[in-house]
């Protein structure tokens, strides 16, 4: 029957494009989507969506999206059958490992893996089957400090408390811009309204950021801070809490181990000292601390701006200390632990740090992964143990990791590469074989990770909207096929587990998790959750606000929170020396826009149209000093590279700071995404530095990169534009 004579239908699901997990309502006929709107009956997102949700339609229909496996040949890309592609992929991996040893193959996992139920629930076995120590992921350009803090303090890397935004009266946001990002390491749909509700109840929202961001614009207070100096501010806040006798660990006191020692460490780190370095006056710092200490139900939250900088781990630790020192952990309106319906924590590794070190730079692993800043050198520097092959899954490190140009050089020289991805992007174009999984609307979805980080306990299951075409595969099925070809389990137990997993599929595994979870059928046979029961609740179920759960929730053996000040504060020496080495260069930071999603939604016209958003923001005083006018092309250079980009002069950025969004730069050769190449932009990660890392955690320092900036003369500019358009 043609689509036009079929009745219109409604499908409810969760948008899986970002961490906010909004409920959406899709109207469609056959395979034609008519509209995607917010699901007003979703108890959590309450009808909220952002412009990206509608791009799910573009993604589904995109003719540039890869649907059949591709092989790179001397005549270009060739479609091949699944069997041939999987055989060749496994053969290539085996060849590299036979010639150079198992560790010559590396793996890189990108961000969308955590938004993919099948990958999360079924993926581990495949990655074990590659049998390499050289594992990398986007974690080390992102939330790695959160994991290390949780692993040390609470005994599990995923035991991450989140702000109880619906009940707090005072929220201090440092280096996060939830109005653009829709929240991160804090699943919070409809965040604008939730922040405004704090204000309506008489509370206060404070933003500390080198940009007056979209979030800062609706906040009660905003302070510009010099990039990379937050640790000085945070130490000064803790120092003031002590000096003003505002320390009250309250109900936490009996759960803490090592807290007493903290006072000694923060002694000399006064607001006066932090003022010059951060650009925030001593009086303001004191006021920030005192107001926080005296507020009703305050909470302090920090995200990318403080995680992905030279002192990322120290910053995240200090933020936790502020919450603990004021008794705000595990308290209503403070930082609270979640109680998700499907709890993965017992099934996942708790974490370990420094069990191994990278070959070239001796950087520590965390939880079996090396910092991705080391990936390029591990490929390029010759010697024993050099990486010669790579498997990437749902990632684009050429655009998303520091010094992307260097990484691309490495990718060009690999002996063999496989990419599991449905786009030919700046990274996957280097692969020999691309294995494309189905797109989000063709698979079932349950947010395993983001329900663990949600500011309210809720659960929602989405069946697939469209059936995948015969022969097409889910990510997890691709993994299983590769595993079968690489290292099928030999012992009986392995064989049984594999068979069982295959027959259960993600739905079956999820069903077990839900049934055995805290709201499951096992506890409450009549009303408890199972996957089927959850599916019937098309708008999802509300499981209530976050509840205090100390000490049971802890994974430490003694059920105490281990502050371990010795481990974290050993970094104070490095911080001390950074204060003396301040440069007078401009400092580069990132920027997110509500219509982007890292590097991969730029092939949706509705998301890229309009005014160029890949611009360099700079302050009008800097512009004047450097002779730059609004809209002019400028050259921005760092140790690693130079990009030519349009200047956007604005006073929403701090003096001395330049901001360029990441994920752009689709002007590389060999790309095939039509719309993206028309809206190429520049890759800020050609400027960020693989050598600039937070050495305590191994996380990349993508914010605070020293750069120089020169305007391009008008004549030169038109020559450049001409060359660019040839
Ligand atoms: N629209 C959109 N949404 C997204 C994404 C996207 O690409 N687009 N990506 C998703 C992903 S993967 C993530 S991890 C989250 C990230 O979520 P957020 O962390 O909320 O996102 P950012 O916009 O990067 O916010 C970081 C803020 O830190 C500021 N900053 C930079 N350097 C410093 C510094 O040294 N100190 C301080 N105090 N602030 C600093 C920046 O100006 C910026 O406002 O967003 C997710 N949501
Ligand atoms: N300078 C700077 N750099 C940054 C950041 C920054 O703030 N500043 N942010 C960092 C952050 S927070 C992150 S998370 C990283 C992201 O870095 P990456 O994860 O490396 O890159 P993405 O752009 O998210 O690329 C995702 C890829 O996954 C594919 N994909 C999407 N869905 C699926 C799926 O279901 N299955 C498969 N197999 N593939 C899929 C897409 O086609 C795309 O190619 O970027 C980081 N880079
Ligand atoms: S905020 Fe995130 S989850 Fe919500 S509609 Fe936008 S992309 Fe989807
Ligand atoms: Mo991220």
Q: Does residue 257 fall inside a structural domain?
A: yes
- For 9-33, the pLDDT digits (tens) are 999 999 999 999 999 999 999 999 9
Q: Is the CB of 369 under 6 A from ligand 1?
A: no
Nearest CA to ligand 1 atom 8: 597
Number of domains in the chain: 2
22 Cβ closer than 6 Å to some ligand 3 atom = yes
| Number of residues in the chain | 726
Residue 159 clears pLDDT 60, i.e. is over it? yes
Confidence of residue 493 (pLDDT cuts 50, 70, 90): confident
Same domain (yes/no): 563, 657:
no
Question: Could you tell me the CA-to-CA distances from 460 to 42, 451, 463, 529 in Å, in that order?
Answer: 9, 9, 10, 11
537, 569, 601 — which closes off a domain?
569
pLDDT at 407: 98
Query: Burial code of 300-326, b = ≥16 C-beta within 10 A, e = fewer?
Result: bbbbbbbbbbbbbbbbbbbbbbbbbbb
pLDDT score, position 725? 44
What is the residue whose two structure tokens read 């936790």?
Answer: 320
Task: Answer whether 18 contacts ligand 3 (Cβ < 6 A).
Answer: yes
Mutate to test the pocket of ligand 2, among 143, 407, 430, 600 (most ligand atoms within 8 A of CB): 600
How many Å lie between the centroid of ligand 3 and the Cα of residue 223? 28
**pLDDT beyond 80 at 582:** no
The CATH number assigned to the domain holding 221 equals 3.40.228.10
| Average pLDDT value for residue range 64-71 | 97
| CA-closest candidate to residue 662, choices 634, 644, 691, 688 | 688
Same structural domain, 596 and 673: yes
Which secondary-structure segment (H or E) carries 27? strand 23-29
- As residues whose CB is below 5 A from the ion ligand 4, the structure lists 142
Question: Which of 535, 569, 603 is the last residue before a domain boundary?
Answer: 569
Do 188 and 301 have their domain in common? yes
For residue 639, how many C-alpha atoms fall within 13 Å in the half-sphere facing its CB?
11
Q: Are 306 and 174 in contact (CB under 8 A)?
A: yes
Give the mean model confidence (pLDDT) for residues 97-103.
Answer: 97
Contact 420, 392 (CB under 8 A): yes
Question: How does DSSP classify residue 542?
Answer: E
Convert the pLDDT of each residue in 120-147 to its tens digit. Answer: 998 877 778 899 999 999 999 999 999 9
Q: How many CB atoms lie within 10 A of CB 272?
A: 12
Question: Given pLDDT bands bounded at 50, 70 and 90, which one contains residue 494?
Answer: confident
The answer to whether residue 534 is domain-embedded is no
Q: Whose C-alpha lies nearest to ligand 1, atom 3?
A: 181
Q: Let me know whether 336 and 198 are in one domain.
A: yes
Which residues, in sequence order, are bridge partners of residue 657?
587
Spatial distance between the Cα atoms of 157 and 176, rounded to a whole number of angstroms: 21
Find the farthest-apart pair of alpha carbons in the chain and give their distance in angstroms, rounded: 76
Indicate left, alpha or beta for 564 from its phi (over 0: left) and psi (-120 to 50: alpha). Answer: left
584 vs 497: CA distance, rounded Å: 59
pLDDT of residue 721: 56
Supply the pLDDT for residue 502: 86
pTM reported for the whole predicted model: 0.97
Residue 718: per-residue pLDDT: 59
**Distance from the alpha carbon of residue 185 to the mean position of ligand 4, in angstroms:** 9
What is the reported pLDDT for 497? 83
Q: Considering the domain boundaries, does residue 520 fall inside one?
A: no
CA angle centred on 303, ends 691 and 136, rounded to 5°: 45
For all residues of the chain together, what is the average pLDDT? Answer: 96
For 575-581, the CB contacts below 8 A with 24+ separation are 575/231, 575/232, 575/311, 575/314, 578/228, 578/310, 578/311, 579/232, 579/277
Same domain as 689, residue 563: no
Q: Which residue has the tokens 């460490």?
A: 265
- For the cut 90, the answer to whether the pLDDT of residue 705 exceeds it is yes
495 falls in which pLDDT band (50, 70, 90)?
confident
- Specify the pLDDT at position 79: 98
Query: Could you give the residue ranges of the DSSP H alpha helices within 581-618?
Result: 605-608
Identify how many contiguous H helices and E strands the chain contains and give both numbers: 26, 32
Tell me the CA distances in angstroms from 458 to 27, 162, 455, 697, one per residue in order.
Answer: 24, 14, 9, 32
Task: Please report which confidence band the pLDDT of residue 256 belongs to, taking 50, 70 and 90 as the band edges.
Answer: very high
CATH code at position 691 = 2.40.40.20
Beta bridge partners, 405, equal: none
Per-residue pLDDT reduced to its tens digit, 315-353:
999 999 999 999 999 999 999 999 999 999 998 999 999
Report how far ligand 2's centroid is from the alpha carbon of 381 (Å): 26
- Kindly state whether residues 563 and 599 are assigned to the same domain: no
Residue found by looking up tokens 């609004």 in the block: 630
Residue 682, pLDDT score? 97
Secondary structure (3-state) at 214: helix
Do 29 and 11 form a contact (C-beta atoms < 8 A)? no
Q: Is the pLDDT of residue 723 over 60?
A: no
The verdict on 565 and 680 lying in the same domain is: no
C-alpha span between 5 and 112 (Å, rounded)? 36
Cβ partners under 8 Å of residue 678, min gap 6: 608
Rounded distance, CA 11 to CA 461, Å?
Answer: 12
Which pLDDT does position 726 carry in this prediction?
39
Do residues 563 and 608 share a domain? Answer: no
The answer to whether position 619 is within a domain reads: yes
Mutation to probe ligand 2, out of 400, 643, 664 (largest number of atoms < 8 A from CB): 400
Question: Measured from the CB, is residue 316 less than 6 Å from ligand 1?
Answer: no
State which of 518, 535, 569 marks the end of a domain. Answer: 569
Residues 564, 711 share a domain:
no
Residue 722 has pLDDT above 60, yes or no: no
Question: What angle, rounded to 10 degrees, do the helices at 475-486 and 82-100 form?
Answer: 50
DSSP 3-state assignment of 260?
A: helix
Residue 97 beta carbon below 6 angstroms from any ligand 1 atom: no
Q: Compute, in angstroms, the gap from residue 50 CA to the centroid of ligand 3.
A: 5
Domain, as residue range, for 181:
144-340+559-569
Tell me if 182 CB under 6 Å of ligand 3.
yes
- Within a domain: residue 325? yes
- Residue 47 in any domain: the answer is no
Q: Ligand 2 centroid to 387 CA: how many Å? A: 22
Residue at 296 is within a domain:
yes
Residues 397-409, mean pLDDT to the nearest whole number = 98
Cross-strand partners of 187: 454
**Rounded distance between C-alpha atoms, residue 328 and residue 471, angstroms:** 52
Going by alpha carbons, the residue nearest to atom 38 of ligand 1 is 175
pLDDT of residue 716: 64
User: Could you tell me if 300 and 178 lie in one domain?
Assistant: yes
Torsion angle defined by CA atoms of residues 538, 542, 543 and 546, in that order, rounded to the nearest 10 degrees:
140
Residues facing residue 33 across a β-bridge: 28
Is the Cβ atom of 55 under 6 angstroms away from ligand 3?
no
Question: Do 563 and 631 share a domain, yes or no?
Answer: no
**Is residue 246 pLDDT above 80, yes or no?**
yes
Quick check: 443 and 459 in contact, CB under 8 A? no
CA–CA separation, 563 and 153 (whole Å): 6
CA 283 to CA 579: how far, in whole Å?
Answer: 20
Work out the percent of the chain whose per-residue pLDDT is above 70.
Answer: 98
* pLDDT grade for 272, boundaries at 50, 70 and 90: very high
**Which of 26, 40, 52 gets mutated to test ligand 3 (max ligand atoms within 8 A of its CB)?**
52
Interval between CA 702 and ligand 1 midpoint (Å): 11
Residues 280, 171, single domain; the answer is yes
Q: Is residue 7 part of a domain?
A: no
Percent of the residues in the chain that have a pLDDT greater than 90, as a whole number = 91
């Amino acid at each position: 029957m043609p689509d036009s004579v079929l009745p219109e239908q409604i499908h409810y699901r969760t948008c899986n494009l970002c961490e906010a997990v909004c409920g959406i309502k899709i109207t469609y006929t056959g395979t034609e989507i008519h509209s995607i709107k917010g699901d007003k009956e979703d108890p959590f997102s309450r009808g909220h969506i952002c412009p990206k949700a509608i791009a799910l339609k573009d993604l589904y229909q995109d003719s540039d999206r890869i649907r059949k496996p591709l092989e790179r040949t001397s005549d270009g890309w060739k479609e091949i059958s699944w069997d041939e592609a999987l055989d060749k992929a496994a053969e290539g991996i085996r060849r590299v490992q036979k010639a150079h040893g198992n560790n010559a193959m590396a793996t890189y996992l990108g961000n969308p893996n955590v938004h993919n139920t099948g990958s999360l629930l079924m993926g581990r076995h495949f990655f074990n089957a590659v049998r390499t120590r050289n594992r990398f992921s986007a974690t080390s350009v992102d939330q790695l400090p959160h994991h290390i803090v949780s692993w040390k303090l609470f005994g599990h890397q995923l035991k991450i408390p989140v702000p109880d935004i619906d009940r707090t009266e005072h929220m201090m946001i440092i280096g996060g811009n939830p109005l653009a990002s829709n929240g991160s390491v804090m699943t919070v749909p409809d965040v604008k309204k939730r922040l405004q509700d704090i204000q309506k109840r008489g509370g206060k929202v404070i933003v500390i950021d080198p940009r007056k961001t979209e979030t800062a614009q609706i906040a009660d207070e905003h302070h510009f801070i010099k990039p990379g100096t937050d640790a000085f501010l945070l130490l000064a806040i803790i120092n003031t809490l002590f000096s003003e006798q505002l320390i009250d660990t309250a109900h936490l006191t009996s759960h803490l181990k090592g807290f007493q020692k903290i006072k000694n460490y923060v002694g000399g780190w006064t607001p006066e000292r932090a003022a010059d370095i951060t650009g925030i006056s001593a009086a303001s710092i004191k006021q920030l601390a005192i107001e926080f200490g005296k507020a009703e139900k305050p909470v302090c939250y920090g995200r990318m701006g403080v995680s992905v900088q030279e002192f990322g781990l120290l910053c995240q630790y200090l933020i936790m200390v502020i919450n603990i020192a004021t008794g705000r952990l595990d308290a209503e309106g403070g930082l609270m632990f979640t109680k998700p319906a499907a709890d993965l924590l017992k099934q996942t590794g708790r974490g370990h740090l420094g069990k191994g070190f990278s070959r070239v730079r001796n950087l520590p692993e965390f939880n079996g992964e090396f910092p991705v800043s080391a990936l390029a050198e591990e490929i390029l520097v010759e010697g024993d143990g050099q990486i010669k092959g790579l498997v990437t899954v749902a990632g684009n490190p050429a655009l998303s990791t520091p010094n992307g140009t260097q990484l691309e050089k490495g990718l060009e020289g690999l002996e063999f590469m496989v990419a599991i991805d449905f786009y030919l992007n700046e990274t996957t174009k280097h692969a020999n074989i691309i294995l494309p999984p189905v797109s989000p609307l063709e698979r079932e979805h349950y947010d395993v990770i983001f329900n663990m980080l949600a500011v309210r306990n809720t659960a929602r299951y989405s069946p697939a909207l469209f059936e995948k075409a015969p022969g097409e595969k889910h990510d997890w099925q691709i993994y299983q096929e590769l595993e079968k070809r690489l290292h099928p389990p030999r012992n009986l137990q392995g064989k049984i587990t594999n068979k069982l997993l295959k027959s259960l599929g993600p739905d079956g595994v999820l069903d077990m998790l839900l049934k055995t979870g805290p709201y499951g059928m096992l506890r409450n046979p009549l009303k408890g959750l199972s996957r089927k029961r959850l599916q019937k609740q098309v708008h999802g179920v509300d499981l209530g606000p976050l509840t205090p759960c100390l000490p049971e929730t802890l994974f430490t053996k003694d059920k105490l929170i281990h502050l371990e000040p010795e481990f974290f504060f050993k970094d104070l020496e490095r911080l001390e020396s950074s204060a003396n080495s301040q440069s007078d260069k401009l400092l580069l930071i990132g920027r997110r826009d509500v219509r982007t999603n890292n590097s991969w939604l730029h092939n949706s016209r509705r998301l890229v149209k309009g005014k160029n958003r890949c611009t360099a923001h700079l302050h009008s005083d800097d512009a004047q000093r450097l002779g730059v006018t609004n809209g002019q092309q400028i050259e921005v250079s760092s140790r690693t590279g130079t990009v030519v980009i349009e200047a956007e002069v604005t006073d929403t950025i701090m003096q001395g700071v330049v901001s360029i969004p990441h994920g752009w730069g689709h002007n590389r050769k060999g790309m095939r995404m039509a719309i993206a190449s028309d809206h190429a932009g520049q890759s800020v990660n050609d400027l960020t530095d693989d050598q600039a890392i937070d050495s305590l955690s191994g996380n990349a320092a993508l914010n605070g990169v020293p750069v120089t900036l020169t305007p391009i003369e008008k004549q030169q500019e038109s020559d450049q534009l001409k060359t660019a358009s040839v």
